[in-house]
Amino acid sequence: MNEVAACGCFILLFDVVLGSAQWALLVLLGCSSCGGLEGVWAFGAAKWAILHLFTSKLTDGKPPAVLCRLVALLGLLSPAFESGRFLTAPPSEPYTGPNPDLNVLLLGPMSSSLACVVWEKGLSGQRKTRKVDPKLDAKRLLVRMLKYFKPDTFYLIAAFSFLILGVVCDTFIPLYQGKVIDMLRGQVLQSGFFYAIGQLTLVSLGSALFSGLRGGIFMCTLARLNKRLKHLLFHTLLQQEVHFFEQNSSGSLSSRLHSDVDRMGRTVALNANAMVRSTVKTGLMLVVMLKLSWELTLLTCIEMPLLAILQNKYITVSKELKDQIQDCQAKNKDLASQTISGIRTVRSFKAETDELKRYNEALEQMCAIKRRSGIYSAVFGLTRRLVSLGIKVLMLVQARSLISSDQLSIGSLVTFILYQKPMSNNLREILYCVGETMSTVGVIAKVFGYLDRTPQCKKDGELAPEKLRGRIVFQNVSFTYPSSPPDKPALKSVSLELQPGKMTALVGPSGGGKTSCVSLLKRLYEPQQGEILLDGEPLHHYQHKYFHQKVALVSQNPVLFSGSLRYNIEYGLKDCTIETVKEAAEKVNADDLISELESEYDTDVGECGGQLSAGQKQRIAIIRALVRDPQVIILDEATSKLDVEVQHAVLQEVLSCGRTVLVVAHQLKTVEKADHIIFLEKAEVVEEGTHQELMAKRGRYYRLKEELFS
């Protein structure tokens, strides 16, 4: 890099020599100019060729791209600028080209090198980051983000049309203000003065009206986009396998769903809006400002690359900090929601102080990052203001000399100043928007990462037979939880059978693999080896909805959702009548429980069923399973909180209609009634048979019963 910089300095020196030689030649030949625009272009092209040769010699024929860009700018920037000046403000006398002037001689090399530095430090820096992390391919992500606006194309066209109309009106306001100021002094007719005031009022009104319409439509479009994205993301999340939710906490997922989606929509939409508005405004203002004074315009434009370098440095640092803040926010949210949802445990262990300390530490961490971000922002703001101040001083000096040589009127200077501030603001806004959008790329990548995630579960089949017997067979099933090491399987080559109309019990010490069997049977996980068959067909051959309706699971701590009792019982069912619900409740002696509640089936169960007792929740969960009329019922400690009478009624009911019943229980009283008992230990089936057979065998089942009894 140092070699390139040294070569760049030599090229700049050589360029100054060439420029001086040109002027010296013109002076010697007695020409006051270089022969109009054609001459300027001819000299520019010749300079480009000579500089290119010089650079090739300097770099042994392999000039780096940055030096090629510098040479092209040195040769062609001045002719391009002169042509622009000629087109926007044609001189009254025949154009002869720029006169020999030290400012012009230095301005070319200075602006060319500045442009190269901005390009290198700004744009290529971002390109390098993209190469390192292809996921953060900003352009690809932003283009994809814009595609989500497709359904709102009509609204967007309307919003952008109003935006452009508003900007056009906005641009003309200072021009008419300057005109009115000039009329205050001169001998202008009153009608002319009022005409100018009328024009000013009209463009001001137009600006207000169009800006209002633009803002309103953008907000509506943004709200629609947010709704669409959240719906899509929530839909994708719901498709994911259970292991995904073990890996990603509910706090961080809900933060992605709400804060991140909001942020990405807002940033992209509002920045696109602000960028288009500022770019159009800048373009129009530039034309008017060049007409007023090209010297002052040039000084205004020098501010931009300087600000771009500053902004780029600031973006690099603040992007990293913003990502850290996002992660910290998700963590804090998770921490708080965990504590609030587990408030009973927290209170019973008197852990409020510990939880507060933990939360405070997390807040401190967040505070430290925000403090650093604040310091960077303050330093950046100060430097930016100093640069703007320096440029302003230079402008005032130049304006004084222009006014004293009658090249600029006071009204035009006022107009220029009225343009200058918004112009700098526009340029700053463009840079800010680019920075903001770039810093949101990380958030967009994360959200798209979730949207693109393919669930790691087998595709559902089409089977939905009218009649199901309910015979379940585990054939050499081996299973290890995705988060467990491969040498710690939860089930090792397990083979078992559940017969229709019979009650099978899974027993064994804690960690033996009972719940894992149930989870596989409910297809919450897929086994790595072996197969589970329902009436001879692998489970995934059945339709998803049909399968979960026919194979019902009632667990020890059933999850209820906020809403009425009836909503929880009918959960997920479309055509369930209140009669069916009542019938199911009566079958398990739950009608007395429901009539005790204030609004019976319309009683609100509270968040996660918090207003019901554990036994009440278990009974509701049993009714919820029964209204689906399942053929296979799995009771995983599902009656542990019920009294003996109700337990008996539940078992009677589930065993009716020839259902297959699988019971997981630690209370061996329940197990004794089972037709078949399977003893699971250390992920394997150790022994099986009826209660009497296993007792007579005096094996593991017998010993467990003895241990519990003693």
Ligand X SMILES: Nc1ncnc2c1ncn2[C@@H]1O[C@H](COP(=O)(O)OP(=O)(O)OP(=O)(O)O)[C@@H](O)[C@H]1O
Footprint of ligand X on this chain (CB under 6 A)? Answer: 246, 481, 483-484, 490, 508, 510-516
* Tokens 């012009």, residue located: 104
Q: Are β-strands 537-538 and 529-534 bridged in parallel, bridged antiparallel, or unpaired? A: antiparallel
- Which among 121, 40, 49 is positioned nearest to 77, based on CA atoms? 40
Q: Which is nearer to ligand X, 422 or 527 (CB)?
A: 527
What SS3 string covers 508-577? CCCCCCHHHHHHHHCCCCCCCEEEEEECCEEHHHECHHHHHHHEEEEECCCCCCCCEHHHHHCCCCCCCC
Spatial distance between the Cα atoms of 672 and 661, rounded to a whole number of angstroms: 14
Task: Provide, rounded to whole angstroms, the least separation between the CB of residue 517 and ligand X.
Answer: 7
Spatial distance between the Cα atoms of 394 and 553, rounded to a whole number of angstroms: 79
Residue 656, class by beta-carbon neighbours within 10 Å (0-12 exposed, 13-18 middle, 19+ buried)? exposed
Task: Provide, rounded to whole angstroms, the least separation between the CB of residue 495 and ligand X.
Answer: 17
DSSP letter at 101?
-
Cα-based distances in Å from 226 to 68, 249, 268, 456: 45, 22, 11, 27
Q: Which is nearer to ligand X, 360 or 528 (CB)?
A: 528
Task: Provide, rounded to whole angstroms, the least separation between the CB of residue 487 and ligand X.
Answer: 12
Task: Provide, rounded to whole angstroms, the least separation between the CB of residue 620 and ligand X.
Answer: 22
Beta-ladder partners of 529: 478
Q: Which is nearer to ligand X, 90 or 486 (CB)?
A: 486
Q: Which is nearer to ligand X, 478 or 589 (CB)?
A: 478
Q: What is the dihedral of CA 390, 391, 395, 396, to 10 degrees?
A: -30
Task: Provide, rounded to whole angstroms, the least separation between the CB of residue 243 and ligand X.
Answer: 8
Task: Provide, rounded to whole angstroms, the least separation between the CB of residue 550 and ligand X.
Answer: 23
What SS3 string covers 113-154? HHHHHHHHHHHHHHHHHHHHCHHHCHHHHHHHHHHCCHHHHH
Q: Which is nearer to ligand X, 514 or 659 (CB)?
A: 514
Q: Which is nearer to ligand X, 481 or 601 (CB)?
A: 481
Count the neighbouring beta carbons within 10 Å of the beta carbon of residue 530: 16
Q: Which is nearer to ligand X, 39 or 509 (CB)?
A: 509
* Tokens 């926007």, residue located: 88
Residue 477 is inside which H or E element, if any? strand 472-479
* Tokens 């007395």, residue located: 592
Count the neighbouring beta carbons within 10 Å of the beta carbon of residue 526: 16
Task: Provide, rounded to whole angstroms, the least separation between the CB of residue 685 and ligand X.
Answer: 12
Counting every residue written for the chain, the total comes to 710
DSSP letter at 634?
E
Spatial distance between the Cα atoms of 466 and 654, rounded to a whole number of angstroms: 20
Q: Which is nearer to ligand X, 353 or 510 (CB)?
A: 510
Q: Which is nearer to ligand X, 495 or 656 (CB)?
A: 495
Q: Which is nearer to ligand X, 113 or 515 (CB)?
A: 515
Q: Which is nearer to ligand X, 240 or 278 (CB)?
A: 240
Task: Provide, rounded to whole angstroms, the least separation between the CB of residue 621 and ligand X.
Answer: 17
Spatial distance between the Cα atoms of 418 and 36, rounded to a whole number of angstroms: 33
Task: Provide, rounded to whole angstroms, the least separation between the CB of residue 682 and ligand X.
Answer: 9
Evaluate whether 461 touches 540 at the Cβ level (below 8 Å): yes
Q: Which amino acid is at 550?
A: K
Task: Provide, rounded to whole angstroms, the least separation between the CB of residue 663 and ligand X.
Answer: 13
> What is 269-322 written as a DSSP string?
HHHHHHHHHHHHHHHHHHHHHHHH-HHHHHHHHHHHHHHHHHHHHHHHHHHHHH
Evaluate whether 221 touches 156 at the Cβ level (below 8 Å): yes
Task: Provide, rounded to whole angstroms, the least separation between the CB of residue 461 and ligand X.
Answer: 26
Task: Provide, rounded to whole angstroms, the least separation between the CB of residue 458 and ligand X.
Answer: 19
Q: Which is nearer to ligand X, 466 or 487 (CB)?
A: 487
Q: Which is nearer to ligand X, 514 or 619 (CB)?
A: 514
Evaluate whether 255 touches 330 at the Cβ level (below 8 Å): yes
Q: Which is nearer to ligand X, 246 or 352 (CB)?
A: 246
Task: Provide, rounded to whole angstroms, the least separation between the CB of residue 665 and ligand X.
Answer: 10
Spatial distance between the Cα atoms of 112 and 8, rounded to a whole number of angstroms: 11
Spatial distance between the Cα atoms of 504 and 536, rounded to a whole number of angstroms: 18
Q: Which is nearer to ligand X, 186 or 511 (CB)?
A: 511
Evaluate whether 85 touches 290 at the Cβ level (below 8 Å): yes
Residue 53, class by beta-carbon neighbours within 10 Å (0-12 exposed, 13-18 middle, 19+ buried)? exposed
> Helices 644-655 and 614-626 sit at what angle, rounded to 10 degrees?
10
Q: Which is nearer to ligand X, 239 or 247 (CB)?
A: 247
